[in-house]
Amino acid sequence: MGTSKSFSDVKHTMIPNWGVLSSSLTSNCDSSVLSTQKLQNIMGHFVSALSGASTGGRGGSKAGGRSSIRTAKKIGGVFSKFISSGNNIRQTLEFTGLTDIENKTVEDIINHLIEYCSGSATSIDDNAAKEATRLLFEELMGQAESIDEVQALLQETFTTNTLEDVIIKYFGYYINELLSKWFYENLIKNKSENDCNNLFGQIKNFIVERVEDIHKKNPLQNVDWSSDEADRLIKNIQQDVLTVFE
């Protein structure tokens, strides 16, 4: 969870509900198993700290939710290219600017796509968005040992999942990373590592479980990823994800 940007860089005065969110994490940071209601309360305070789902989900909060929109649009563009190319990973990677593809390892490919989608990270929000990108790509491609296996894994993913499913999963990872980067480093100064990991592990599992049940209503086929429509759809999805916890 270490990062150059974390708790000490957050301007708490610009974040509504910061004290309530902080207290709810501190009081629940122990070895206990949290009830669903307690986890929902923590996440509700988190959404309030982003000024609510309708504001934070659409990039209107200074605290977070902006880098994730930018990154999710890039991820959408990459996977749309993969789908529209007939599941051709080489064509997709060329589209993202990767050269000498046959000599690249799977790790090279994943690292390139992380940089392509997230760019340099200069804020906590950037860091959370980039780490979520890494988690997503490693989940989707990390088991591959060759470029052809990357192609096969992605083809399998999009046989059973829509692009909207994948973007929802990304936002789930992102909000977990943002919450962790806001608080983990500070909590571990006063609480044991086991207690911190217990708390944040339960929060992560809760987020992943809840976002899996989101009603899909933003189809992403044939979207021009540089358009205002793409921006609107991605903001819709992030807002939908945050609304689950509001």
pLDDT at 35: 98
pLDDT at 15: 78
Distance CA 123, CA 126 (A): 5
Quick: pLDDT tens for 189-199. 999 999 999 99
pLDDT over 90 at 10, yes or no: no
Residue 134 within any structural domain of the chain: yes
The domain total for the chain is 1
User: 120 is in which domain, residue-wise?
Assistant: 7-243
Question: pTM score > 0.85 for this model?
Answer: yes
pLDDT over 90 at 202, yes or no: yes
pLDDT over 70 at 110, yes or no: yes
Residue 158 within any structural domain of the chain: yes
Residue 2 within any structural domain of the chain: no
pLDDT at 65: 97
pLDDT over 90 at 5, yes or no: no
pLDDT classification of 13: cutoffs 50, 70, 90: low
Residue 1 within any structural domain of the chain: no
